[in-house]
Chain A
Amino acid sequence: MSAPGRTYWQTLEEIADSPEFAAAVAREAPRFKDVMHGFDRRRFLQLMAASIALGGLSGCGPESNPRQLLPYVREPENVVPGHDRFFATAVTQSGYGTGELVTHQMARPIKVEGNPEHPASLGAASAIMQASILQLYDPRRAQLVVGNGQIATWETFVPVLYNRRGTLLDRKGDGLRILTGAVTSPFLTSQIAALKQQFPQMQWHQWEPLHRDAEMAADTKMFGQPVDKLYDLGKAERILGIGSDLISAAPGWLAYARHFAAARRPTETHGKMSRVYAIESTPTLLGAKADHRLPLRPDEIDRALRYLAGQVGAGPQDWAKQTNLPTQWLKALADDLQQNKGKVLVHAGREQPAEIHLLANAINNSLGAFGQTVNFISPVEQANGSKQQSLAELTHNMDAGKVDTLLILGANPIYDAPADLHFATALKRVPFSVSLALYDDETALASTWRIPATHEYEAWSDTRAFDGTVTIQQPQTRPLYGGRSAHALLAILLGQPEQDDYALVHAFWQKQAQQQNRGDFKQFWYDSVRSGVVAGTAAKPLSVQPSSDVLSHLPQPDAAKSNTLEALFRPDEGLWDGRYADNPWLLEMSRPFTRLTWDNAALIAPATAKRLKLATHDVVEIAVGATKVKAPVFVLPGQAGDCITLPLGWGRSAGGLGVGAGFSAYPLRGSEHPWRVPIAGLSKTGETYRLASVQGQDRVLGRDLIREGTLQQFNDNPDSLKKKSKDESLYPPYDYPDRAWAMAIDLNSCIGCQACTIACQAENNVPIVGKDQVLDQRIMHWLRIDRYYSGPADTPDVAFEPMPCMHCEDAPCEVVCPVHATVHDHEGLNLMVYNRCVGTRFCSNNCPYKVRRFNFFAYASRNDRPDASWNPEVTVRERGVMEKCTYCIQRIRTTQIAANRDNRPIKDGEIVTACQQSCPTQAIIFGDKNDRESAVVKRKDTPLDYVLLDELNTKPRTSYSALIHNRNPAIKNEQA
Chain B
Amino acid sequence: MTTTLPTELPADAPIVAPDVTLASLSDEVSERILTNRTPRWWWVGFGLSFTLFMVLPIAMAWLFINGIGVWGVNIPVAWGLALAEYVWWIALASGGTIVSALFFLTGSPWRSATNRIAESMLLSAIPCAGLMPIMHLGRPGLFYWLFPYSSVMGVWPQVRSPLWWDFICIICYMLMSMMYYYAGLIPDLATVRDAAKSRIKKIFYGILALGWRGSVREWQNQRTVYAIMSAIMAPMVISVHSVVGLDFAGGLTPGWHDTQFPPYFFFGAVISGTALIIMLTILVRWGYSLQNVLTEYHLNAMAKVMLVGSLMLAYAYVWEAFGPIYGSDVADKTEFMHRVFGFTSPAFWSEKTLTVLVPQLLWIPFVRRNQALLLAISTGVIVGMWQERFVFTTSATEHNYIPSYWGVYFPTVWDWATLAGTIGLFLTLFFLFLRFIPIVSIAEVREIVHKENGK
Binding site for B on A (CB under 8 A): 695-703, 705, 773, 776-778, 786-788, 801, 803, 812, 814-820, 823, 836-842, 844-846, 848-850, 852-858, 878-882, 949, 951-952
Contact = CB atoms under 8 A, between A and B. Distances in A.
A880 B146 contact: no
Contact of A841 (B66, B72, B73, B331): B73
A697 B398 CA distance: 11
Contact of B74 (A776, A823, A838, A839): A776
B158 A854 contact: no
Interface string B387-403: 00000000001001111
Contacts of A858: 67
Contacts of B138: 837-841, 854-856, 879-882
B179 interface: no
Most buried by A among B397, B404, B407: B404
Contacts of B155: 819-820, 836
Interface string B132-144: 0100111100110
Most buried by A among B247, B401, B402: B402
B143 A838 contact: yes
Contacts of B226: none
B407 A696 contact: yes
A879 B162 CA distance: 24
A858 B72 CA distance: 16
B75 interface: yes
Contacts of A819: 145-146, 155, 157-158
29 contacts: A701-B330, A701-B334, A703-B331, A777-B74, A777-B408, A778-B69, A778-B74, A786-B404, A801-B404, A814-B158, A816-B163, A816-B251, A817-B158, A818-B164, A819-B157, A840-B133, A841-B79, A841-B138, A842-B251, A845-B76, A845-B79, A845-B253, A846-B253, A848-B401, A854-B75, A856-B67, A856-B138, A880-B138, A952-B401
A850 B400 contact: yes
B155 to A, nearest CB: 6
Given A812-B252, A837-B138, A820 B74 contact: no
Interface in B148-191: 153, 155-158, 160-164, 167
A776 B139 CA distance: 20
Contacts of B250: 816
Contacts of A841: 73, 78-79, 136, 138
Interface in B301-328: none
A130 B330 CA distance: 40
A840 B146 CA distance: 11
Contacts of A778: 69, 74-75
Contacts of A852: 75
B406 interface: yes
Contacts of B358: none
B68 interface: yes
Nearest to B134: A838
A703 B160 contact: no
A845 B139 contact: no
Contacts of B330: 701-703
Contacts of B74: 776-778, 856
Given A814-B158, A845-B78, 4 more contacts: A703-B331, A812-B252, A840-B133, A854-B75
Contact of A705 (B133, B157, B402): B402
Most buried by A among B139, B164, B397: B139
Given A778-B69, A839-B68, A856-B74, A812 B146 contact: no
Contacts of A952: 252, 401
A818 B158 contact: yes
A882 B139 CA distance: 11
B405 interface: yes
Contact of B78 (A815, A848, A854, A949): A854
Contacts of A816: 161-163, 250-251
A849 B252 CA distance: 11
A879 B161 contact: no
Interface size class of B (residues with CB under 8 A): 35 or more
Contacts of A849: 401-402
Instruction: Please list the 5 inter-chain residue pairs (A to B) with the smallest Cβ-Cβ separation, ordered nearest first.
Output: A839-B138, A880-B138, A696-B406, A697-B403, A856-B69
B67 A696 contact: no
B67 A820 contact: no
A856 B138 CA distance: 7
A838 B155 CA distance: 13
Contacts of B78: 841-842, 844-845, 854
A58 to B, nearest CB: 16
A956 B390 CA distance: 32
Nearest to A840: B163
Nearest to B166: A818
A24 B236 CA distance: 69
B73 A839 contact: no
Most buried by A among B164, B251, B256, B406: B251
Contacts of B143: 838
Nearest to B78: A841
B328 to A, nearest CB: 9
Given A850-B76, A881-B138, A857 B403 contact: no
B239 to A, nearest CB: 18
A846 B252 contact: yes
A88 B342 CA distance: 54
Contacts of B161: 815-818, 842
A777 B137 contact: no
Contacts of B162: 816, 842
B132 to A, nearest CB: 12
A812 B251 contact: yes
Most buried by B among A787, A817, A856: A856
A880 B331 contact: no
Nearest to A822: B158
Given A816-B162, A839-B138, A777 B76 contact: yes
Contacts of B157: 818-820
A853 B402 CA distance: 15
Contact of A848 (B158, B163, B167, B402): B402
A857 B68 CA distance: 7
B403 A696 contact: yes
Contacts of A848: 252-253, 400-402
A930 B335 CA distance: 38
B401 A703 contact: yes
Most buried by A among B138, B250, B334: B138
Interface in B14-37: none
A845 B402 CA distance: 12
Most buried by B among A777, A817, A837: A777
A742 to B, nearest CB: 21
Interface in B240-257: 247, 250-253, 256
A839 B138 CA distance: 4
Given A838-B145, A881-B138, A856 B73 contact: yes
A857 B73 CA distance: 12
A220 B157 CA distance: 73
A815 B247 CA distance: 12
A696 to B, nearest CB: 3
A857 B66 CA distance: 7
A850 B402 contact: yes
Most buried by B among A818, A854, A881, A951: A818
A849 B331 CA distance: 13
Given A696-B407, A778-B74, A846 B79 contact: no
A106 to B, nearest CB: 30
Contacts of B251: 812, 816, 842, 845-846
A434 to B, nearest CB: 46
